[in-house]
Chain A
């Protein structure tokens, strides 16, 4: 259940295409780079343990509505909708042209991380010469490519850069998706800290300064959920936690047996006395 970050990347590319720089095409496949270790839960009916499902129910007659009868509405006033048909949406949806179109090259650190959305691993699809050339060029110059990608039906800005001997692509949020803190009222009138306070705060920061090491952080909540699931698998139904080691679990069962057997032996000795 726990993720193995050292596992080989999935062979299955979910997108194949090319990085286009002007007239040059570098064939690539996209693979998963970031695997979030969320634990999926299925909702069950408590009484009989059977999965429940969501239904689309008409708010007027409480009848389940089949997909074929569903339309999309955009609310323009209280209870007033403009109806948009699926075909109309499909007609204006961007087609993935299987290209990562690079518009220009920028300094690798010039994109603020707030714009980062999802990151994918780019792998060479076919001969790797051009891939290696681009990677080494990026690495040598500290540059990255900025452009556009259409994944499924969504077009996004994309940043292509070198990371740990590979090329990676990070889709970016559009500027209007990110709140401008400058327009938040509470932040418009912050007090100005005194010089002494600032000096002290800076000293504290200096004293606590160190290297960034992401391995210092672990998802302990997930670990506890996983431990809970493991213990449930082994049959413990009320205890939130059971010994992690299978040996201990087996031993508990063996001890219970011994306890029961010795109790029975003592009882039979008593009887025969």
Chain B
């Protein structure tokens, strides 16, 4: 097999099928991340990544990786921090350039997860995160209904919400924040907004104990915590059809999109960016602090 060197990275096993059902190889994954780099890098930079790697393809078990793997090249930026849950120091990968992104793709790091705070202050969230999670028989269309109701409440509160597909059945809604908040404040805020929605809609539930209520849509507030993560916008998902967690506009969402519209084969940086204003907006939370 020919050795391909791309920037600083020597690509390995490029013809290995990562998505065997649709015969997409690791080279396809690398090409995707290369193509989407201008978009995705803005969400990855300055954050301690959690990788989900699938060295043998998405139909084989993958694994989460919070600590930089052995053999990480010296030019990859690492961030040292102490993990309470793991009870040891972790060296997280920070991806703020194309070389690192290619290196990650070559590791079969299909899924890239980001914390909701930047490295300079890991305890200060710069995003609110509403994880809209439908429980069967509820599916994507119920998630859309819940997301639109959530948008109405957030805009009613004077906030600017952004939405993306999760790449599976759910939707992710985020609001960019000014500094100065703690995770406990953002978590309570997301919980309270969920509570308001749940009170007015029989479809929506906002409490942890209700996550498995069949046919309901759970607005999960729990990821709003230090070192907890969200699927990065434009990250691939380990689904059979190579779906992408894709930012969409509210009008697209209302217009009847489905998660399967957004895959490794269809998403690229040429598409209009519905999240263009994300980092220009920075909201204060009403009723908090």
State the A residues within 8 Å of B (CB): 224, 236, 239, 241-243, 245, 247-249, 251-252, 254-259, 262-263
**Which 5 pairs, one residue from A and one from B, show the smallest C-beta to C-beta distance?**
A254-B287, A251-B192, A258-B286, A252-B192, A241-B207
**B196 contacts across to A, CB distance below 8 A:** 252, 255-256
A253 smallest CB distance to B (angstroms)? 9
A262 x B210 contact (CB < 8 A): no
Q: How far is the CA of A243 from the CA of B209 in the complex (A)?
A: 11
State the B residues within 8 Å of A (CB): 153, 156-158, 188-189, 191-193, 195-196, 198-199, 206-207, 209-210, 286-288
A258 x B191 contact (CB < 8 A): no
**A263 contacts across to B, CB distance below 8 A:** 156
A252 x B195 contact (CB < 8 A): yes
B157 x A258 contact (CB < 8 A): yes
Q: How far is the CA of A243 from the CA of B210 in the complex (A)?
A: 12
B192 x A255 contact (CB < 8 A): yes
A247 x B157 contact (CB < 8 A): no
B157 x A248 contact (CB < 8 A): no
Q: How far is the CA of A239 from the CA of B191 in the complex (A)?
A: 15
Q: Given A251-B192, A252-B192, are A258 and B287 neighbors across the interface (CB < 8 Å)?
A: yes
User: Which single member of A241, A245, A252, A255 contacts B286 (CB below 8 Å)?
Assistant: A255
Nearest residue, chain B, Cβ from A223: B209
Q: Given A239-B198, A243-B195, A248-B195, are A255 and B188 neighbors across the interface (CB < 8 Å)?
A: no
B199 x A251 contact (CB < 8 A): no
**B209 contacts across to A, CB distance below 8 A:** 224, 241
- The A interface, classified by DSSP as helix, strand, loop or mixed, is helix
Q: How far is the CA of A239 from the CA of B209 in the complex (A)?
A: 13
Q: How far is the CA of A236 from the CA of B195 in the complex (A)?
A: 11
A243 smallest CB distance to B (angstroms)? 5
A248 x B192 contact (CB < 8 A): yes
Q: How far is the CA of A236 from the CA of B196 in the complex (A)?
A: 12
A230 smallest CB distance to B (angstroms)? 13
Nearest residue, chain B, Cβ from A244: B207
26 A–B pairs (Cβ distance < 8 Å), ordered by A: A236-B199, A239-B199, A242-B195, A242-B207, A243-B191, A243-B192, A245-B188, A248-B188, A248-B191, A248-B192, A249-B195, A251-B189, A251-B192, A251-B288, A252-B192, A255-B157, A255-B193, A255-B286, A255-B287, A256-B196, A257-B287, A258-B157, A258-B158, A258-B286, A258-B287, A259-B156
Q: How far is the CA of A136 from the CA of B193 in the complex (A)?
A: 60
**B206 contacts across to A, CB distance below 8 A:** 243
A251 x B210 contact (CB < 8 A): no
Q: Given A241-B209, A252-B192, A252-B196, are A259 and B153 neighbors across the interface (CB < 8 Å)?
A: yes
Q: How far is the CA of A242 from the CA of B198 in the complex (A)?
A: 10
A251 x B287 contact (CB < 8 A): yes
A241 x B210 contact (CB < 8 A): yes
Nearest residue, chain A, Cβ from B209: A241
**A249 contacts across to B, CB distance below 8 A:** 192, 195
Q: How far is the CA of A255 from the CA of B188 in the complex (A)?
A: 12
Q: How far is the CA of A263 from the CA of B189 in the complex (A)?
A: 20
Nearest residue, chain A, Cβ from B210: A241
**B287 contacts across to A, CB distance below 8 A:** 251, 254-255, 257-258
